[in-house]
Chain A
Amino acid sequence: MSSPATTASKATSARTGSSGHAPRLRTPRRNARNARTADSRRPRRSVLLTVLTGLVLVYSLVPLIWLVISSTKTQEGLASSSGLWFADHFALWDNVRETFTYNDGVFVRWLLNTLLYVGLGAGGATFLAVLGGYALAKFTFPGKRAVFAVVIGAVAVPTTALAVPTFLMFSKMGLTNTPWAVIIPSLISPFGLYLMWVFATEAIPTELLEAARIDGAGELRTFFRVSLPLLAPGIVTVLLFTMVATWNNYFLPLIMLKDPDWYPLTLGLNSWNAQAQTAGGQPVFNLVITGSLITIIPLIAAFLLLQRYWQSGLAAGSVKE
């Protein structure tokens, strides 16, 4: 166990070693931003560059278009029509209705479960990452450098093999087949911790903390009153990433949950997909496809909404020093 820690902590110090060459961010950012807004009007827009980037855009969107088109088809329509064009019968609304009512409306239950897992899991993960990142950025404490090193080291171990040990542990604690078995592991976001660490370092002027302490404010009060508002844009970003991670969580729930009543959407959809493979089972690929579409819509919506918030957050975050 000590070896990953040492290896990784060496890695950290290696990064520290090169700090002298790192570009610094000492320029007042507000000016930079204004300058850049002016600047961004200056370069001529390039058709060639737009077309080239457009290729990546097409690559990104074609599968999603396929998903949208396929969700308008019945199970028979899927079998008898080409993938990138509509079938004769436009069945999107039938599919949506059937998705929500099939098997006594279990899809709605999965949707609510997912919301629960995302709410508690991603919310909690963001909270822990914010606290942790803040501590790493603004405090010194024994073992500080080891923390991130151990985190990176542990993340390198394949999760599939840890699944059974985790299952046995959780089972001893009576957590399997409960929402906690999904939520607790979702609470850790190593990348979120890294992001918050970097962000807090930049966004919170140390002088501000010093001032608050001189005023006699407690650490918690300082954190909530002074630091948290400054961290808002970073928090939104971490929340976005942890939401996606929790929403898409598949492998761990697969092992931890046996009762379909606790399934998140990903597991539920997969069980519908697997249903075609059993004696007496009914293939419902049309519902799997429509369900997939419904599954990603809330995430895309959340992203677009947060994106707007994030835009203003970017500007807010740049007002510092």
Chain B
Amino acid sequence: MPKKTRRLLGGIGLVCALALGATACGGSDDDGSSGKKVSAGDIQAALKKGGSITVWAWEPTLKQVVKDFEKEHPKVHVNLVNAGTNKDQYTALQNAIAAKKGVPDVAQIEYYALGQFSLTKSVTDLSGFGADKLSKTYSPGPWNSVKSGDKIYALPMDSGPMAMFYNKKVFDKYKVAVPTTWDEYVDAARKLHKADPKVYITSDTGDAGMTTSLLWQAGSRPYQVDGTNVKINFSDKGAATYTKTWQKLIDEKLLSPVTGWTDDWYKGLGNGDIATLNTGAWMPANFVSGVKNASGDWRVAPLPQWTKGDKATAENGGSSLALPSAGKNKELAYAFVEYANAGKGVQTRLKGGAFPATTADLQSDAFQNTEFPYFGGQKANKIFAESAANVGSGWSYLPYQVYANSIFNDSVGKAYVSNTPLAKGLKGWQDASVKYGKEQGFTVSE
């Protein structure tokens, strides 16, 4: 019988080889589209000719943009697919690129994740499509995020200059002053929690996006990327500033142990248990839809400063639309991306509650004077726009930030649930990121 088993297995092996041969032996040939020169005339011709493109995005405002775009160009059909939210979609995109099948023509990619795709030339360089002329169109934060040297890998869709959202009702009730520096923030945290043990200044259980953004604001630049040379170091002065303050909040148990975006978190934002939220300017739409019952309670203030009188801020979140190299209809795809992110689509998306990356909109009176009924009529965009103008320069993410963020809580998370100091947690994250980088063939220094 063993002989027969072997024969059976041999047969199966053959089947596999037949089924898999192509995949297993497939080489890489994903180039050939970068640096392509496409004139505005070519794009117009493509729009006239018509066709169909697939867009992978989870941004809700794009639905209306697609409708308008199709109305304007009746021969073009846009197939908008929500292929998952952030990480899920990147996984799907990586899988599709690996399989060389089912790759969309346009994909939403967050700024922190773009490096992973541009490094492997999985997304098209758009400079030849006319994107090189758009440098003045976007505010510097988002623009620098999509650019690498003279190559432009995506067009910015929105941005997330940071601000502090705070529950005014809670601060008024306990007569605590709204903090303008992080030292005051710690003080306010103590006062609020003392006044009512259920109230926390904010909730934090370790979030890679927020930690990197606050490091960014504190002047830390832990990642230096030059092609395949990467430097990772979390021990600069900025990082020390951040860990010193945040360690206080952790040690004195001043942070609510509720994880962001969960049901409990929404409840906490609504009932006053969570008093502030430091995040990107895209947040108001989420407040309106997710925390309806606290309408009128919340206000917006500039992000607390590390040094009194400063105006430093950072970006948190924000995404772009890119053209995967393996996508087909490049001209149409670019036409859509330009329409959505630089053309008429921008206004549509602003109406839907998105926050712009375009300078003209950020500076327009209509935008800055918009009153937010949710924030008691406050003209919150003024604060956001000012934040957008003061984003610290020189920040970059790792070319494998998606992976690095996914393992953030393995090391830094220990600081939130045990006696591990935050700085040590960050060192652990650094080590894991260095290890992965080396495994992937990067030249990594610390």
A–B in direct contact per CB < 8 Å: yes
CB neighbours (8 Å) of B261 from chain A are 276-277
A207 within 8 Å of B (CB atoms): no
Q: Are A281 and B289 closer than 8 Å at their CB atoms?
A: yes
Q: Does B343 sit within 8 A of A, measured CB to CB?
A: no
Within the complex, the shortest CB–CB distance from B147 to chain A, in Å, comes to 22
- B residues less than 8 Å from A171 (CB atoms): 23, 95-96, 99, 101-102
* Chain A 140-170 interface 0/1 with B at a Cβ cutoff of 8 Å (1 = within): 0011011000100000000000001001110
User: Which residues B255-307 have CB closer than 8 A to chain A?
Assistant: 261, 263, 266-267, 270-271, 280, 282-283, 285-286, 289-290, 292-293
B89 closest partner in A (C-beta):
A258
Q: Let me know if B119 is at the binding interface, CB within 8 A.
A: no
The dominant DSSP class at the B interface is helix
Q: Which residues of B contact A168 (CB under 8 A)?
A: 20, 23, 95, 98-99
What B residues does A6 contact at CB under 8 A? 2, 5
The answer to whether the Cβ of B14 comes within 8 Å of any Cβ in the partner chain is no
Question: Chain A 263-303, CB within 8 Å of chain B: the 1/0 string?
Answer: 00000000100111111111101000000000000000000
Query: Is there an interface contact between B352 and A280, defined as CB atoms closer than 8 Å?
Result: yes
Residue of A nearest to B61 (CB): A280
Question: In the bound complex, what is the Cα–Cα distance between A168 and B98 (angstroms)?
Answer: 8
Judged by DSSP, the binding face of A is helix
In the complex, which residues 88-130 of chain B have their Cβ closer than 8 Å to any Cβ of chain A? 88, 92, 95-96, 98-99, 101-102
**A76–B261 Cα gap in the complex (Å)?**
15
Q: Is the CB of B101 within 8 A of A176?
A: yes
Query: A274–B99 Cα gap in the complex (Å)?
Result: 26
Instruction: Please encode chain B, from 238 to 251, with 1 for each CB lying within 8 Å of some chain A CB and 0 for all others.
Output: 00000000000000
In angstroms, how far is the closest chain B Cβ from the Cβ of A71?
14
Contact residues in A for B1 (Cβ distance below 8 Å): 9, 142-143, 145-146
B428 on interface, CB distance cutoff 8 Å: no
Which B171-213 residues have C-beta < 8 A from chain A? none
The yes or no answer to A220 lying at the interface (CB within 8 A) is no
Whether the pair B60, A281 counts as a contact (CB closer than 8 A) is yes
Q: Does A255 contact B (CB under 8 A)?
A: yes
Give the nearest-CB partner of B8 in chain A. A143
Closest to A173 in B: B19
**Is A229's beta carbon under 8 Å from chain B?**
no
Contact check, A278 vs B19: say whether CB atoms are below 8 A apart.
no
CA distance A9 to B123 in the complex (A): 49
Does B366 belong to the interface (CB within 8 Å)? no
* Separation of A142 and B416 alpha carbons in the complex (Å): 60
- With both chains docked as a complex, state the minimum distance between the C-beta of B431 and any C-beta of chain A, in angstroms: 25
Is the CB of B351 closer than 8 A to any CB of chain A?
no
- B133 interface hit (Cβ, 8 Å): no
Question: A76 near B317 (CB under 8 angstroms)?
Answer: no
B6 touches A2 (CB 8 A): yes
Contact-size category for B: 35 or more
A146 near B4: Cβ-Cβ < 8 Å: yes
Nearest CB in chain A to that of B56: its residue: A258
Whether A279 lies near B280 (C-beta < 8 A) is yes
Whether the pair A280, B8 counts as a contact (CB closer than 8 A) is no
- Asked if A80 and B266 make an inter-chain contact with CB atoms under 8 angstroms apart, the answer reads no
Q: How would residues 19 to 30 of chain A score, 1 for a CB under 8 Å from any chain B CB and 0 otherwise?
A: 000000000000
A274 and B293 CA atoms in complex are apart in Å by 21
| Distance A66 CA – B95 CA, assembled complex (angstroms) | 38
- A146 close to B82 (CB less than 8 A): no
A283 touches B290 (CB 8 A): yes
Nearest-neighbour CB distance to chain B for A102, whole angstroms, equals 13
Q: A115 interface residue, CB < 8 Å from B?
A: no
The proximity string for A residues 159-190 relative to B, scoring 1 for CB distances below 8 Å and 0 otherwise, is 00000100111011110110000000000000
B86 on the interface (CB 8 Å rule)?
yes
Q: Does B353 contact A (CB under 8 A)?
A: yes
Inter-chain CA distance A146–B8, complex, in Å, is 9
C-alpha gap A78/B293 in the complex (Å): 12
**Is residue A5 contacting chain B, with contact meaning CB distance below 8 A?**
yes
A171 to B135, CA, bound (A): 39
A1-B9, A276-B266 given as contacts; is B86 within 8 A of A260 (CB)? no
Q: Indicate which residue in A145, A279, A285 contacts B317 across the interface (CB closer than 8 Å).
A: A279
6 contacts between A and B (CB under 8 A): A5-B9, A79-B263, A143-B5, A259-B81, A260-B82, A282-B289
* Contact surface of B with A, Cβ cutoff 8 Å: 1-2, 4-9, 13, 19-20, 22-23, 56, 58-61, 81-86, 88, 92, 95-96, 98-99, 101-102, 158, 160, 261, 263, 266-267, 270-271, 280, 282-283, 285-286, 289-290, 292-293, 317, 352-354
Q: A6-B2, A146-B4 are in contact. List 16 more A-B contacts (CB 8 A).
A: A1-B13, A5-B9, A80-B270, A80-B271, A143-B1, A143-B8, A146-B5, A168-B95, A168-B98, A172-B23, A172-B99, A176-B102, A276-B266, A278-B85, A279-B158, A280-B60
A-B pairs with lowest CB-CB distance, top 7 = A171-B99, A279-B282, A277-B261, A282-B289, A146-B5, A79-B267, A258-B83
